Amino acid sequence: MSTSSKSPAGIDPRGPRFGAGITAVLLLVTIALGLGTAASAAPLAERAVQPAFLLLAAITAVFAWGAFAGIARHPYGALFKALIRPRLGAPAYLEEPEPPTFAQLVGFLVSITGVVLHLLGVPYGLVGAAAVAFIAAFLNSVFGLCLGCEMYALLVRAKIIRSA
């Protein structure tokens, strides 16, 4: 959900897309690692140190950071501001920060589900959750379609949540 507003509270919409690209790559690696891992066959202590699990746990922590600290404080946003943004022209518009922050919450919920399913020994639970998150991150990074932002807009229109 974007606006044509140039309000100081707005964020550069290319920042979340940049972060989504990083997330998509990491999730693709997670899926590849997870496909080679039999979660249900290993004891809990082994499942908790498998590379796919550790990577998804790290991704979940980054989603949590964006969801609870806000998209403006997201580590990928800081990387974008420091390394990428100075090399680009001004954005065509600024985006409200609430929809991408909500999208981070959705990403957190999906990825934490994969973490929990993996720890419970559900076969390919981690891979399934990572695949769902990958699709959303890919769509955002490549096409600019933020599924979490669209969910936010639908929930605001349905008056389930209030817009900030």
Find the Cα–Cα–Cα–Cα dihedral 4, 8, 14, 18, rounded to 10°: -150
> What is the tally of structural domains in the chain?
1
* pLDDT for the residue numbered 2: 42
Residue 34 lies in a domain: yes
Residue 9 domain flag:
no
Containing structural domain, residue 76: 14-157
Q: Per the domain annotation, does 163 fall within a domain?
A: no
Residue from 3, 35, 12, 10 nearest 134 by CA: 35
**114 vs 131: CA distance, rounded Å:** 10
Q: What are phi and psi of 12, to 5 degrees?
A: -70, 120
Whether 7 maps to a domain, the answer reads no
Nearest alpha carbon to residue 71 among 107, 47, 43, 35 = 107
Residuewise pLDDT in 10s, the chain (164 residues): 444 444 457 899 999 999 999 999 999 999 999 998 766 677 888 889 999 999 999 999 999 999 999 998 899 988 999 999 999 999 999 999 999 999 999 999 999 999 999 999 998 999 999 999 999 999 999 999 999 999 999 999 999 998 87
* pLDDT for position 40: 66
Instruction: Please check whether residue 77 lies inside any domain of the structure.
Output: yes
Query: What is the secondary structure of 38-71 as a DSSP string?
Result: -TTTS-HHHHTT-HHHHHHHHHHHHHHHHHHH-G
Q: Is residue 40 one of the residues assigned to a domain?
A: yes
Compute the distance between CA of residue 30 and CA of residue 61 in angstroms, rounded to an integer. Answer: 14
- In angstroms, the CA 11 to CA 71 distance is 9
Query: Is the residue at 81 inside a domain?
Result: yes
